[in-house]
Amino acid sequence: MAEEVKFLGMWASPFSRRVELALKLKGIPYEYIEEDLSNKSPLLLKYNPIHKKVPLLVHNQKSVAESLIILEYLDETWETHPLLSPDPYERAKARFYAKFIDEKLLPTMSKLVGSTGEGKEQAIEEFHQQLTILEDELKGKQFFAGRRMGYLDIAANLLLLFHMAGEITGEKILTAEKFPVIHEWIERLMKMDVTFKAATTMAEEVKLFGMWPSPFSRRVELALKLKGIPYEYMEEDLSNKSPLLLKYNPIHKKVPVLVHDEKPVTESLVILEYLDENWETHPFLPQDPYERAKARFWAKFIDEKLGHMAGKEKEDAIEEAQQQLKIMEDELKGKQFFCRAENRVPGHCCKCFDLVSYCRRVYRRNNTNRRQVSIYLGMD
Ligand SMILES: N[C@@H](CCC(=O)N[C@@H](CS)C(=O)NCC(=O)O)C(=O)O
């Protein structure tokens, strides 16, 4: 929270839009400063004396210019919602196409706007050839980055502006018939944008009532942090519950309770799903319904089976824990996390994190030699 992030932009600039999108996806709080490019501010001239252009990012007094460079800087500084893939080849490809957009597609788009007659026909032809290259790259994926929005999706957002301009002027050059994949991608981005505009305005009030050793509070805290949602934390004394806790959770009178714009949500797993449905950043649940069902199954398994072991006879509990760890071990095999093995980001099953302290105890007592579980538990 001590971080100071200022973003100088201009509402109509597609380059500024890149930075805005990245900041929102990553859930980074920032101060926005709208620039009047006909009368540039001393701040812009001071921090971007070479190009004197927006966007410009000023992070703790250090300035970063050029939209694509800003995206990389944000990605290297904040780990929420990674924009570039951990795979070097995928990173190289994303950078290649972003460069292609800026150096080829963009000049063609300028030609399109500024030409008439034969010149325009030629520009349309060139534009269509370039779009085909991007359409091929996007085929079979939801986003250029795969299952979620990444660096290249952000770099290509200027196609949205182009599409919207076409809708307004009636000059439809980028049609669903000719470019079905890009068209669908545009619709997806427009829908998402509405959601995260609504979801990331600083006017949102999010409070978490928790208790520091509670694994259930920890689930919600982790989810809020992974999603980059700013929130106010209220520590509860469970031996002397606050009137607010009793008001917001009159049925169970337990923590955690999430209060979002005065609406209380209780039960940690219910809260996780609520957060996931309201904030697009860092999705927890997989998109595939079967994978979602599996994640929910394991979360329920953890709560109903593993969670109740403390009350049983110690020896029985340890034996049962070993069997259950074996089941979890099989589910975890070949993956880094229960979900999202491909990008090394904990997903919905990061709920399992709260198992960590319990499992560590069982693990140590039994000296279980289960390497995979030990890596997951951070004991390797
Ligand atoms: N390559 C730069 C392009 C930035 C750019 O062209 N910004 C325009 C606004 S869209 C600007 O600030 N123009 C002011 C000027 O040229 O004086 C980037 O990616 O950030």
- Strands 31-34 and 257-260 come out as unpaired
Q: Output b/e per residue, 25-40; b: 16+ Cβ within 10 A.
A: bbbbebeebebeeeee
Sheet with 263-266, side-by-side order of all strands: 232-235, 206-210, 257-260, 263-266
Beta-bridge mates of residue 232: 207
CA of 124 from ligand 1 middle (Å) equals 24
Alpha helices in 287-339 (DSSP H): 289-304, 314-332
Residue 20's closest CA among 69, 55, 66, 62?
A: 55
Total Cβ atoms within 10 A of residue 240: 6
Residue 37's closest CA among 5, 64, 15, 68?
A: 15
Q: Does the reported pTM lie above 0.75?
A: no
Q: Nearest C-alpha to atom 12 of ligand 1 is from which residue?
A: 53
Ligand 1 mutation pick, 10, 21, 51, 64, max ligand atoms within 8 A of CB? 51
State residue 302's pLDDT score.
Answer: 78
Instruction: Domain 88-199: state its class.
Output: mainly alpha
CATH number 1.10.600.10 is the correct assignment for the domain at 289-376: no
Ligand 1 mutation pick, 7, 34, 54, 74, max ligand atoms within 8 A of CB? 54
CA distances to 81, 102, 142, 287, 372 from 340, rounded to whole Å, are 13, 31, 16, 11, 16
CA of 54 from ligand 1 middle (Å) equals 5
Per the omega criterion (within 30 degrees of 0), is the bond before 42 cis?
A: no
CA distances to 249, 284, 375, 378 from 200, rounded to whole Å, are 26, 17, 34, 32
- CA 16 from centre of chain: 19
Residue 267's closest CA among 247, 285, 253, 286?
A: 253
CA of 52 from ligand 1 middle (Å) equals 8
- Strands 31-34 and 62-65 come out as unpaired
Stretch (H or E) spanning 64: strand 62-65
Q: Give the count of alpha carbons within 13 A of 269, CB side only.
A: 13
State residue 193's pLDDT score.
Answer: 65
Task: Spell out which residues line ligand 1, taking CB within 6 angstroms.
Answer: 10, 13, 15, 37, 52-55, 66-68
Q: Nearest C-alpha to atom 11 of ligand 1 is from which residue?
A: 53
State residue 369's pLDDT score.
Answer: 41
Ligand 1 atom at shortest distance from the alpha carbon of 35: 12
Q: Which CATH architecture has domain 206-278?
A: 3-Layer(aba) Sandwich (3.40)
Per the CB < 8 A criterion, the answer to whether 234 and 210 are in contact is yes
- Do the domains at 88-199 and 206-278 have one common CATH topology? no
Residue 299, helix vs strand vs coil: helix
CATH homologous superfamily of 5-77 equals: Glutaredoxin (3.40.30.10)
CA of 15 from ligand 1 middle (Å) equals 7
Ligand 1 mutation pick, 8, 34, 39, 53, max ligand atoms within 8 A of CB? 53
Q: Nearest C-alpha to atom 17 of ligand 1 is from which residue?
A: 53
Q: Can you tell me the distance from the alpha carbon of 356 to that of 373, in angstroms, rounded to the nearest whole number? A: 10
What is the Cα Rg of the chain in Å? 24
CA of 55 from ligand 1 middle (Å) equals 7
CA of 168 from ligand 1 middle (Å) equals 24
CA distances to 24, 153, 166 from 178, rounded to whole Å, are 31, 20, 15
CA of 51 from ligand 1 middle (Å) equals 8
CA of 310 from ligand 1 middle (Å) equals 61
Stretch (H or E) spanning 58: strand 56-59
What are the boundaries of each domain within the chain? 5-77, 88-199, 206-278, 289-376
Give the pLDDT of the chain (380 residues) as one tens digit per residue.
468 999 999 988 889 999 999 998 888 889 999 999 999 999 999 999 999 999 999 999 999 999 999 999 999 999 888 999 999 999 999 999 999 999 999 999 888 887 888 988 999 999 999 999 999 999 999 899 888 889 999 999 989 888 877 776 777 788 899 999 999 999 888 877 654 554 444 346 889 999 988 889 999 999 988 887 878 899 999 999 999 999 999 999 999 999 998 899 999 999 999 998 888 777 888 878 888 898 898 888 777 765 555 555 556 666 666 676 777 777 777 776 765 434 333 443 333 333 443 434 444 444 444 444 444 444 43
